[in-house]
A = this chain, B = another copy of it.
């Protein structure tokens, strides 16, 4: 049976990243695209509840025989609408990306790309988020292709059926400089943030987020270190956020 594959992203349906991803996975299943009609980076797991959503059929992947829909909402809205109104059922796989920019370490929390994949996982669909460590809209996505193919194929053909949610980051290196795939945990790396403080043309103050990403050098098995060493990092994710190790402590702290 040909697997059904939902492709989405957060950079928008016209980005180079999603086109590369579609071009790779179209050989591995029956692909349908539901992706944002405009850039939705850093939207995290936001959903649209206070206004209606639009879904427009577009023919930009027609030459590949692929149905595609541009959605007015967030990446998570795209996945919800795809399952309920396009597939009318769960696809066999969801792939999200290829994101223009890193989603390693704590970035999973802010990333629309990862959130889309997580939403699919919550709905019971195995799912993979792909990101390239290059924020440019003109990033060269070609080196990502063999890793997309290998990881998707492994999951579809060699897996034992368990429903994985994977966060894949690919270093922005030439193909011969990439050392292979490394399975990692989410690194202890954080943004050291600041806001620019400026004045607009009528003299009112505004702020703009900026920052520097800082890795914990001792976190050897984290995805950030793997990426810095030239590996493609793969982190299995889950959406139970409970800090189980704190339950006993809290029971003591809050008992009368």
Contacts and interface: CB of A to CB of B under 8 A. Distances in A.
Contacts of A234: 250, 254
Interface stretch (A20-28, A52-60, A89-97): A52-60
A47 B209 contact: yes
A146 to B, nearest CB: 12
A45 B109 contact: yes
| Number of chain A interface residues as a range | 35 or more
A158 interface: yes
A246 B250 contact: no
Contacts of A77: 209
- The binding surface of chain A is classed by DSSP as mixed
A244 B185 contact: yes
A54 B206 contact: yes
Contacts of A42: 46-49
Nearest to A105: B240
Contacts of A214: none
Interface string A148-186: 001100110011101011100000000000001101011
B239 A241 contact: yes
A62 interface: no
A209 B53 contact: yes
Contacts of A46: 42-46, 74, 110
A-B complex: 4 closest residue pairs judged by Cβ atoms: A44-B45, A52-B206, A236-B246, A238-B243
